[in-house]
Structure 1
Amino acid sequence: MSSPSNSPQSPVPSAPGRAAPDPAARAGRALQKGRQTKAAIVDAALGLATHIGLEGLSVGALAERMGMSKSGVFAHFGSREELQISVIREYHARFEQEVFYPALQAPRGVARLRALFERWMARTSVEIDSGCLYISGAVEFDDRPGPVRDALASSVCTWHAALKRAIVLCKECGELRADTDEEQMLFEIHGLILALHYEARFLQTPGSLARALTGFDHILQRYGAKVPPTQVLPSPSTPKE
């Protein structure tokens, strides 16, 4: 008979009706929970940033809002800079979902360009009461090189490239003059948004939204488009007029 020390070890049986713990499953649940927590932190940080700016974000204020410790918040990002960049990415993702992707359902040409602008206006009208991260971020980081400024500029340039492509498609469809300078037209359209934000949010000038919409029609007509007047899209909140 073999001695116990030479006998092969038998596995300890699990309790009847109870599966053995799965380390991979536990790790997966922990990872999913971590992602959910990080997403909740970014959502709260975005809410703060639209009101107080990216520079106003602090781990302490965010931890208090989330009911977490500072170290708990910090562990998800590693630095305040990475937190700011995560907020910019989330803002851009929501901008695309609300403005860009729905507008792609419109036919190529002026109809799509109009849809892009109208949805941009609808979002801007909501942000009159909170603030546009692209605009406030430009003021905060225009003279401060670094990853945060790069993330902001990249997001804005991505959006501008989409608008410019829509203008080029208008030319290809024959709905704008062939000699239309898409860079100039984009500059003028962006100028309407900046003017609207300043007039409506800072000066609280009555009729600012209607003036911006009229300005868009004037731009289209000047570049050869024959289209009916722009209609204001319904938005979740009423803009200041």
Structure 2
Amino acid sequence: MAQELIDGRRARGDETRRVVLSHALDLASVEGLDGLSIGRLAEASGQSKSGVATLFGSKQGLQLSVIDAAQAVFTREVIDAVRERTPRGLDRVVALVTGWIDYSRGRIFAGGCFFSAASAEFDSKPGPVRDAVMAALDTWESYLAASLAHAAPELPDMTDPAQVAFEVTSVLAAANTRSLLHDSDEPYARAARAVRDRLRGLGADEAKLAPLTEQADAARR
């Protein structure tokens, strides 16, 4: 009986944490991680300040938990979704780019790409929060670079996968920012077109670039 009681409390605590983190993700993506506080989150989630403080301990603990949760969402929505259905090679590279655009354009986070916003907010603020944001972005860029490396036989003119990954992630981040600023999907069309043209210049098979062309057209509708 005692163990069942403990397990029930733990399950309720886990569910409360998930609910609170969901509110925190949306708040942070719109208002910024630095503006996220125990009190603000308690108000938004309908929880008590003491309850939220118990879950996360401190503002920094809350921020780091939000970053972890955001990375889990990104990994599920972009990386895992592509990895499960698309084999290594150029098809996977193209799917990662179109998946990222869907993730950002679909506003899974209310403020667009969580990490684009967080990196702009913390790029000049050293500390654990910036380190966590940087690690998440580096993980994404490294995965894209590795995927490009696997696609090397299909990109005969590519000499530096890491450079191409840097260019692609930079274009995608710019599209997210411009889309939010102008309240327009046009930046996503331009990003898809830019990546398509870059891969084409590296010798990619035109047929395999079709999803990027389709996404460019869809983003302009």
State whether TM-score is above 0.5: yes
Residue of structure 2 in register with 1:79 after alignment:
58
Shift of 1:198: 3.0
Residue of structure 2 in register with 1:91 after alignment:
70
The 2-side partners of 1:124 and 1:24 are apart by: 43
SS in structure 1 of the partner of residue 34 of structure 2: coil
Superposition misfits of 4+ residues, deviation over 4 angstroms? 238-241
Please, which of 173, 180, 183 is the counterpart of residue 201 of structure 1?
Answer: 180
Shift of 1:219: 0.8
Matched-pair identity in %: 32
The 2-side partners of 1:51 and 1:115 are apart by: 27
From the CA coordinates, give the structure whose radius of gyration is larger.
Answer: 1
Q: Deviations over 1:103-157 (max 9, x none)?
A: 1121221101001110001111123962322111112111111111111111111
The 2-side partners of 1:216 and 1:129 are apart by: 25
Shift of 1:67: 2.1
Shift of 1:179: 4.7
The 2-side partners of 1:129 and 1:82 are apart by: 22
CA separation of 1:47/1:103 partners in 2, compared to 1, >3 Å: closer, same or farther?
A: same
| Residue 114 of structure 1 pairs with residue 94 of structure 2 | yes
- Amino acid across the alignment from 2:164: M
Shift of 1:239: 6.7
Residue of structure 2 in register with 1:43 after alignment:
22
Please, which of 134, 150, 153 is the counterpart of residue 153 of structure 1?
Answer: 134
- Amino acid across the alignment from 2:72: A
- Amino acid across the alignment from 2:174: A
Matches within 5 A, 1:54-203: 54-104=33-83, 105-127=85-107, 130-171=111-152, 174-177=153-156, 179-203=158-182
SS in structure 2 of the partner of residue 107 of structure 1: coil
TM-score, normalised relative to structure 2:
0.89
| Residue 232 of structure 1 pairs with residue 215 of structure 2 | yes
Shift of 1:205: 6.1
The 1-side partners of 2:15 and 2:110 are apart by: 28
Structure 1 vs Structure 2 CA RMSD: 2.1
Shift of 1:197: 2.0
Shift of 1:240: 8.4
Answer yes or no: is the 8 Å Cα contact 1:103–1:115 preserved in 2.
yes
The 2-side partners of 1:95 and 1:163 are apart by: 14
Answer yes or no: is the 8 Å Cα contact 1:50–1:133 preserved in 2.
yes
Query: How many residues are treated as equivalent by the alignment?
Result: 214
The 2-side partners of 1:187 and 1:118 are apart by: 16
Higher helix share: 2
SS in structure 1 of the partner of residue 72 of structure 2: helix
Answer yes or no: is the 8 Å Cα contact 1:85–1:148 preserved in 2.
yes
Residue of structure 2 in register with 1:11 after alignment:
none
The 2-side partners of 1:111 and 1:59 are apart by: 43
Answer yes or no: is the 8 Å Cα contact 1:129–1:239 preserved in 2.
no
Answer yes or no: is the 8 Å Cα contact 2:29–2:110 preserved in 1.
no
Answer yes or no: is the 8 Å Cα contact 1:124–1:197 preserved in 2.
yes
User: Any unmatched runs of 5+ in structure 2?
Assistant: none
Shift of 1:204: 4.6
